[in-house]
Amino acid sequence: MNIYRSHVLICGGTGCTSSKSDKLQEKFEKLLVEKELDKEVKVVRTGCFGLCEAGPIIIVYPEGSFYSQVKIDDVEEIIEEHLLKGRIVKRLLFKDAIVEDIVKSVDEVDFYKKQKRIALKNCGVINPEDIDEYIALDGYLALGKALTEMTPEEVIETVKDSGLRGRGGGGFPTGLKWGFTAKAEGNQKYVLCNADEGDPGAFMDRSILEGDPHSVIEAMALAGYAIGSNQGYVYIRAEYPIAVERLQIAINQAREKGLLGKNIFGSDFDFDMEIRLGAGAFVCGEETALIASIEGERGMPRNKPPYPANKGLWQKPTLINNVETYANVAQIILHGADWFKEMGTEKSPGTKVFALGGKINNTGLIEIPMGTTLREVIYEVGGGIPNGKKFKAVQTGGPSGGCITSESLDTPIDFDSLTSIGSMMGSGGMIVMDEDDCMVDIARFFLDFTVEESCGKCPPCRIGTKRMLEILEKITSGKGEPEDLDRLERLAENIKVSSLCGLGQTAPNPVLSTLKHFRHEYEAHVNEKRCPFPHLRINSI
């Protein structure tokens, strides 16, 4: 094994790849060979560093120099100055990584200081296409420990004790789910991973699969051992090509090493898994629709009960968790439930990954301990609102969530507190709005999304959300009447209680919460017959 004096970590997440980090890697590798440095300096293509705003990002170790927005022409300078002469290229450092001419390493940058990385532990650290790098950082140690030292019941107990709750949005206790599926009767059981992340602006699961696919594979194998299943499926949307490719590479490598397949770690436990591609329907992130889609049916939700734990994929007991949930599991098994409980809050232990977006300086991916306040996230990790504008609201939970106003900025983030202030954790989208944003238009944007994505099965969602959107469009185009607000509210409540699945039941939330906190903006539209804000329609966030 070669010992390198320097490592150049290049972000290979979707954000940085789209700003041509792959070309940077080629150039680095080419120039290093030319300058005969390739035996001394290793280039590693990693997963997402999180700070997508500043991409493409390169970190050079051992210094931890955090270069941002690196261009192809900068590569030569980094090699010449930094890697040959040992002089950090200050002009290329991320703005917070150099304060009053003092260079900070990546860990000291504000963006990372408040973060605690468990699910994203290896993202931006290892090469996700090399299983040895994962193993070098204790990868598959948890699986080995479980198979050789723990009974399936002990694995479930540990997950239960840790208090881990589903990171896909529902916050259901993961250990309980595992327990139910373990107890369910059936000769065949399945372990599913929900990687059909679809909230606008959310890319937590994508980044985990792109940056650390083995953490999910290991956790699914652990789940298989715990519930008595030998087959897993990862349902992932086809619009995540990098994640799909890296996950497939990871599965293949795990098979080669005997970490998937027959008699794993010499035990009598067999487990293997396959990828199933989704065609991009948001509703397929709903677990029963996801199951229908894997079965080859149209992706429409099924009524619950029966729950997947009893009757899931092909009517067999099925455990389904999302990517981020799985990404926590191996760590919990390895370090124990108490270690996990030390982080976060009592009822929501651990951390949560959020995709920060909208009117915020540090757009990107963050992982914070539960209990961190929204203010800390927005002003410290997120670096505040651009252009000195005033904060107006933050939307959590994506199109299923609600907006949170400045009065609630000191709320500690956890499942229950977000629900109590009228929003929800959701899968981790966090979109910040400033004083220029029209909240009616924000509600219209999210509703437009759910109307598009409704599967059409039940009338409240199929027709009701469309009617809501029409009323909203009437209001935003200055044609609203005072009674439209009541009509909107009543219809929203009706859709909430009578829709079949979570998509419909939560679709009215953005409207209800903006009506609650910003009713005056709705009224202004109706009374003034126009939008009172410099009206920029949001088509994408």
- Which residues bind to other proteins, rule: CB under 8 A? 281, 283, 298, 300, 302-303, 305, 451-460, 462-467, 470, 487, 494, 497-500, 505
| Nearer to other proteins (CB atom), residue 232 or residue 480 | 480
3 state DSSP class of 412: strand
Both structure tokens of 285 = 């992130």
| Nearer to other proteins (CB atom), residue 142 or residue 488 | 488
| Nearer to other proteins (CB atom), residue 19 or residue 310 | 310
Residues whose CB falls within 8 Å of the CB of residue 540, separated by 6 or more in sequence, listed in order: 200
Identify any residues that bridge with 404 across adjacent strands, giving them in sequence order: 394
* Burial zone of 3 (CB within 10 Å; 0-12 exposed, 13-18 middle, 19+ buried): exposed
Task: Give the nearest distance from C-beta 513 to other proteins in angstroms.
Answer: 19
Task: Give the nearest distance from C-beta 499 to other proteins in angstroms.
Answer: 8
Please tell me the distance from the alpha carbon of residue 96 to that of residue 108, in angstroms, as a whole number. Answer: 9
Task: Give the nearest distance from C-beta 506 to other proteins in angstroms.
Answer: 12
Which residue reads 């900025």 in tokens?
409
| Nearer to other proteins (CB atom), residue 247 or residue 281 | 281
Task: Give the nearest distance from C-beta 467 to other proteins in angstroms.
Answer: 5
Both structure tokens of 24 = 């940077």
Please tell me the distance from the alpha carbon of residue 288 to that of residue 207, in angstroms, as a whole number. Answer: 24
| Nearer to other proteins (CB atom), residue 99 or residue 463 | 463
| Nearer to other proteins (CB atom), residue 125 or residue 451 | 451
| Nearer to other proteins (CB atom), residue 276 or residue 467 | 467
Provide the phi-psi class of 36: left if phi over 0, else alpha when psi is between -120 and 50, else beta.
left
**Of 102, 108, 106, 59, nearest to 82 (Cα)?**
59
Both structure tokens of 535 = 């009206």
User: What is the end-to-end Cα distance of the chain in Å, rounded?
Assistant: 45
Measured from the Cβ of residue 132, the count of other Cβ atoms closer than 10 Å reads 12
| Nearer to other proteins (CB atom), residue 124 or residue 397 | 397
Please tell me the distance from the alpha carbon of residue 471 to that of residue 465, in angstroms, as a whole number. Answer: 10
Helices in 274-389 by DSSP H: which ranges? 287-294, 323-335, 337-341, 374-375
| Nearer to other proteins (CB atom), residue 247 or residue 488 | 488
| Nearer to other proteins (CB atom), residue 211 or residue 401 | 401
| Nearer to other proteins (CB atom), residue 305 or residue 534 | 305
What is each CA distance from 224 to 216, 316, 522, 534, in whole angstroms?
A: 12, 14, 50, 54
Task: Give the nearest distance from C-beta 177 to other proteins in angstroms.
Answer: 19
**Of 328, 353, 338, nearest to 223 (Cα)?**
328
DSSP state of 84: I
Task: Give the nearest distance from C-beta 455 to other proteins in angstroms.
Answer: 5
* Contacts by residues 448-451 (CB-CB < 8 Å, ≥ 24 positions apart): 449/200, 449/282, 449/399, 450/282, 450/399, 450/503, 450/507
**Of 317, 277, 283, nearest to 296 (Cα)?**
277
Task: Give the nearest distance from C-beta 464 to other proteins in angstroms.
Answer: 5
Please tell me the distance from the alpha carbon of residue 309 to that of residue 182, in angstroms, as a whole number. Answer: 8
Task: Give the nearest distance from C-beta 525 to other proteins in angstroms.
Answer: 18
Task: Give the nearest distance from C-beta 491 to other proteins in angstroms.
Answer: 8
**Of 134, 137, 142, nearest to 257 (Cα)?**
134
Please tell me the distance from the alpha carbon of residue 17 to that of residue 24, in angstroms, as a whole number. Answer: 10
DSSP state of 373: B
| Nearer to other proteins (CB atom), residue 231 or residue 450 | 450
Both structure tokens of 198 = 């679809």
**Of 516, 330, 495, 485, nearest to 421 (Cα)?**
516
